[in-house]
Structure formats: C-alpha cells, structure tokens
Amino acid sequence: MTVDLTGGDVTVATVSGELDSVSSGFLSRHLEAAVAARPHALILDFAAVGFCSAAVLRVLVETTAAADSAGVRWALVSDHRAVLRPIELTGLEVSLHPLPTVAAARQWLTAA
C-alpha cells in the first residue's frame, strides 16, 4: 500500500494497493496527519485500491469523526467494486458518500 499526499487548497491523499488489517494502521496514521494539518478540504482517492477490508472501513469512519471535529470537509473517491461493495454492505455509503472521480469530489466539496 502507498499513500501520496499533495497539498494546495485541497489536500489529495492518493491511496493504492491492497488495504487490509495489516495496512490499516499505516493508513490511519497518514489520514490522522492529513486531518491534523487542517486543510481547506481533503480528498481520499481510492481509485487504485484493489481490496478494502473492514479494518479500513473503521479507519474511514474514524477519519470522518476526526475531520468533522477539525472542521475539515472531505470526500472519498472510488468507482471500484472492491471498495464500493463493502461500503454498501455495511450501510456506510450515506456517511462516506463515495464519488467516482477526483474532479467530482472537488466539485462536491466546493458546492457545499
């Protein structure tokens, strides 16, 4: 798994690889740091993620809470079944609201 952060008005965390219980701690630390930096907005780009475990869903729920507390708007990007299916099965699509592209996420974040 890799996590690349790019800054600017909107911080984009591009995540790739297999996201399982082993990598969830690594991901959590990166996302905690990204939220703690209090960017205007944060986009988690999971477009290159091939597997997403329940442990990673927990990290995303924790990121939602941390971002809300810090006043950081954020969006999750993925159009892959490997990411969307676990989100849908757990009913988290309402709170995680995945979007299909980074461009759609930027638009959604600036519209609200």
Residue 112 — pLDDT band, cuts 50, 70, 90? low
Q: Report yes or no: 75 and 97 within 8 Å, Cβ to Cβ.
A: yes
Question: What is the rounded (10 degree) CA torsion for 70, 72, 77, 83?
Answer: 10
For 32-88, how does the pLDDT look when each residue is reduced to its tens digit (9 = 90+)?
A: 999 999 999 999 999 999 999 999 999 999 999 999 999 999 999 999 999 999 999
How many helices (H) does the chain have, and how many strands (E)? 5, 4
Structural domains of the chain sorted by starting position, each given as residue range(s) with its CATH number in brackets: 2-102 (3.30.750.24)
Phi, psi of 53, rounded to the nearest 5 degrees:
-85, 170
pLDDT at 54 (0 to 100):
95
For 11-48, how does the pLDDT look when each residue is reduced to its tens digit (9 = 90+)?
A: 999 999 999 999 999 999 999 999 999 999 999 999 99
